[in-house]
A and B are shown apart, each in its own frame.
Chain A
Amino acid sequence: MITERVLTLGALAALGLVALAAHVADEPFTVTLATRAAIFALAAVGLNLALGLGGLVSLGHAVFFGLGGYAMGILAWHAQMYQPMRIGPLEIAGTQSMPAIWLVAVAVSGLAALLIGLLALRTAGVYFIMITLAFGQMFYFFAVSWPAYGGEDGLSIYVRNGFPGLNTLDPIQFFGLCFALLAAATGLVAGLRRAPFGLALNAARQAPERVRAAGIEPQRLRLAAFVVSGAITGLAGALFADLNRFVSPAMFSWQLSGEIMVFVILGGAGRLSGPVLGAAAFVAMEHWLGGIWEYWHILLGLLLLGVVLFARGGIAGLVTGRSHV
C-alpha cells in the first residue's frame, strides 16, 4: 500500500522533474505549464485545509486568489508608474519585489478570510456555501466597477517582479520559486495535521459535539483554518498574476472558485497529495484535451460527475485504494 507521505512526495517530485526535463529539452512552454500547475496546486492546498480538513465547503476561494492577484497588480503598477499610492495622508510607494508582494498578498487575503469567515461561520451547511459564493461575486463586481485599477479590463504589468538573486524571467527559475512555495505550504499543512490544531480541526468536522465536550470550540478552529486557508490561496493568486503579468476581475470569478474546488476533489479531498495531483491533472487535461477539442469542459464535467458519483476519493483514493486519509 502506498502511504500518504510517499504519494505526496512522489507527486511533488514528478511535477519538479517534468519542469526540469522540459527545461533541459528547451521547452519553456512546458515549464510554464508546470508552473501553472504548481500555482493552482498551491491555491488548492489552501482550500484543502478549509474543505478537506475543516469540512468548510467554500465556493468563494477565488476571493483570496483575486486579492492576492490584485495585491501584486496594484503594488507593481504603482512601482512601474513611479506613482506612490495615497491613502489619506499616507504615501506608499509600490514595489516590484516578490517577497514584499507576497507578504501583502498573504496579509490582505488572510484579513479578508477573517471577515468573511466571521460572517459565513455564523451559519453552516448550504448557507455557508451560498454565502461564500455570494461574497466572491461581490468582490468580482467591485473589481469590475472600481475604475482606478483597470476595472473590467484589468491591469497589465510589463516586467515580472523580482526576487533577490534570481532571474524571475527565466521560466525554470520562476517555476523553482513557485515550486518551493508549494512544497513549503504542503509541508506546513502536513505539520498542522499532525499537531493538536489539525487533530482538533479534523475531529471537529466529524463530531463537533465531541470536540466541544472535550473543551474545544469548533468555531474558533474553523475560523483559524479558514484564515490560513485564505492566506495560502492569496499567495497563489499573487504568483498567478506574476505568471501572466496580468490581473483582471476574472480572478474573482465563481468559475475560478469552482475550479479550485475541482482541483481538490479531483486529487482527493483532505489528502495531502490531493491538490498537486488534482491541479496537475487539470492543467494536463486543459492542455491536451483543450488542444484537441474546443469544448473540452464538457469532458471535464463528465469526469467530475464520474468522480463524485463513483470514485469519491479522487486520484489519491484510486492510487492508495482508500477514499479517506
Chain B
Amino acid sequence: MSEAILSCREVTKRYGALTVSDAVCLDLRPGEIHALIGPNGAGKSTLVGQISGAIRPDAGRVLLDGQDVTDLPVAARARRGLARTFQVSQLAGGDTVRDNALLGAVGAAGAAFGLRPRRDLAARAAAALDRIGLAPLADTRAAALSHGERRRLEIAIALTLAPRAFVMDEPMAGLGPEGTAELTRLLDGLRHEAPILLIEHDMDAVFALADRISVLVAGRVVATGTVATIRADPAVRAAYLGEAP
C-alpha cells in the first residue's frame, strides 16, 4: 500500500439512491499497468472523475504520491503529475499539434502566465511528440488529425506533464485493429515512465498489457489481481466476462 503512487481509499459517491462508487479501494504501483474493467454503467467514468478531481467524492480519499489530494481541483492534481487522457479527445482544434503538446509542459512548469516563449518547454513538447511518433505532424492543426493521431496526441500532452501517474480513459476507443496494436506497443513502453491506470473495454489489449486488473461492477471493486487470477475468478466470469465473451 505504502508504495502506491496513486490510490483510492473507500471512495464513495452517490447520486440520489444510486451508489455509483461504493467504497472503492484501488492502487497503482510504480511500473505497473493497472487495468480497470467493468460493464457499461459500472461507474468507471465517475471514478475517473473523482480521481482526476472533476467530481468530488461524498466520502473516502484520493492519494497521489502518498499525499491527500481529495480537496484539490483538477488543475492542481495535474500539476502534481496526475496525467489523464479523455475518452473523447479534448484538443485545441485550431492550434497545431506542437502547441497542443506544449500545454502539458506549460502546465507542469506552472508557466501559464509566462510572457516569453520558453525553449525548454518547446524542447519537452518536441521530445514527447517524437516519442509518440507525431513529430512529422507538429505543424498540422489538431482538427486535421485522424482519430488515431488524436488519441496519440492526447498521450503526448500527458507525457509533457512530467507525469507521476497516467489515467487513461479508454485510449483504444474507436481504433481499428492496427491502431490498437500500435497503441498497445506504445503504452507497454510508457509504464516505466509512470504507472498507468488503464480504463479499457478492449479485452485483448487489457490482457496483453495489464500487470493487474481490477473489476468494477455496480460501483464496487469485485476483484483485483493478476491477469491469470482474474481470468479464473468465477465471480468475475459471472459478473462480467460472461457477458462479453
Which of A191, A214, A216 meets B115, CB within 8 Å? A191
Number of interface residues of A (CB under 8 A): 26
Which of B91, B102, B114, B161 meets A215, CB within 8 Å? B161
Q: Provide the B144-166 mask, 1 if CB < 8 A to any CB of A, else 0.
A: 00000000000001000100000
Q: Contacts A195-B115, A213-B78; is A206 near B103 (CB within 8 Å)?
A: no
CA A147 – CA B177 in complex, angstroms?
75
Q: Which residues of B contact A203 (CB under 8 A)?
A: 92, 95, 99-100, 103
Contact A207 B91 (CB under 8 A): yes
Contact A196 B112 (CB under 8 A): yes
Contact B121 A212 (CB under 8 A): no
Contact B95 A214 (CB under 8 A): no
Which of B52, B86, B114, B157 meets A195, CB within 8 Å? B114
Q: Smallest CB–CB gap between B138 and chain A, Å?
A: 14
CA A220 – CA B83 in complex, angstroms?
21
Contact A202 B95 (CB under 8 A): yes
CA A192 – CA B112 in complex, angstroms?
11
A-B CB pair tally, cutoff 8 Å = 106
Contact B94 A199 (CB under 8 A): no
Q: Provide the A189-228 mask, 1 if CB < 8 A to any CB of B, else 0.
A: 0011011110110110011011111111100110010000
Q: Which residues of B contact A202 (CB under 8 A)?
A: 92, 94-95, 99
Q: Contacts A199-B99, A214-B78, A215-B75; is A206 near B106 (CB within 8 Å)?
A: no
Q: Which residues of A contact B111 (CB under 8 A)?
A: 196
Indicate whether A324 reaches chain B with its CB closer than 8 angstroms: yes
Q: Contacts A202-B95, A207-B91; is A212 near B115 (CB within 8 Å)?
A: no
Contact B117 A200 (CB under 8 A): no
Contact A213 B86 (CB under 8 A): yes
Q: Smallest CB–CB gap between A154 and chain B, Å?
A: 37
Q: Which residues of B contact A199 (CB under 8 A)?
A: 95, 99, 102-103, 106
Indicate whether B40 reaches chain A with its CB closer than 8 angstroms: no
Q: Contacts A195-B117, A203-B100; is A216 near B75 (CB within 8 Å)?
A: yes
Interface residue SS majority, chain A: helix
Q: Contacts A214-B107, A216-B75; is A209 near B90 (CB within 8 Å)?
A: yes
Contact B107 A215 (CB under 8 A): yes
CA A227 – CA B106 in complex, angstroms?
22
Contact B161 A214 (CB under 8 A): yes
CA A213 – CA B231 in complex, angstroms?
34
Contact B117 A215 (CB under 8 A): no
CA A220 – CA B75 in complex, angstroms?
11
Contact A215 B78 (CB under 8 A): yes
Q: Provide the B116-137 mask, 1 if CB < 8 A to any CB of A, else 0.
A: 1110010000000000000000
Indicate whether A18 reaches chain B with its CB closer than 8 angstroms: no
Contact A207 B74 (CB under 8 A): no
Contact B121 A196 (CB under 8 A): yes
Indicate whether B93 reaches chain A with its CB closer than 8 angstroms: yes
Contact A196 B52 (CB under 8 A): no
Q: Smallest CB–CB gap between B170 and chain A, Å?
A: 15
Indicate whether A17 reaches chain B with its CB closer than 8 angstroms: no
Count chain B CB atoms within 10 A of each CB in A192, A212, A325 and give the residue with the most. Answer: A212
Q: Which residues of B contact A214 (CB under 8 A)?
A: 75, 78, 103-104, 106-108, 157, 161
Which of B52, B76, B118, B157 meets A210, CB within 8 Å? B157
Contact B115 A215 (CB under 8 A): no
Q: Which residue of chain B is the closest to A224 with respect to CB atoms?
A: B113
CA A126 – CA B204 in complex, angstroms?
46
Q: Which residues of B contact A194 (CB under 8 A)?
A: 117
CA A203 – CA B75 in complex, angstroms?
14
Contact B107 A209 (CB under 8 A): no
Q: Which residues of B contact A209 (CB under 8 A)?
A: 86, 90
Q: Which residues of A contact B121 (CB under 8 A)?
A: 196
Q: Provide the B72-97 mask, 1 if CB < 8 A to any CB of A, else 0.
A: 01111011000110100011111100
Known: A213-B75, A217-B112. 10 other contacts (CB 8 A): A196-B102, A197-B114, A203-B92, A203-B100, A206-B92, A210-B90, A210-B100, A213-B84, A221-B112, A224-B113
- What are the nearest 8 A-B pairs in CB distance? A215-B107, A215-B78, A196-B114, A214-B107, A215-B79, A210-B90, A203-B92, A206-B92
Interface, chain B (partner A; CB < 8 A): 52, 73-76, 78-79, 83-84, 86, 90-95, 99-100, 102-104, 106-108, 110-118, 121, 157, 161
A-B contact pairs, 12 of them (CB 8 A): A196-B118, A197-B114, A199-B103, A203-B103, A206-B94, A207-B91, A213-B75, A213-B84, A215-B75, A215-B161, A217-B75, A224-B113
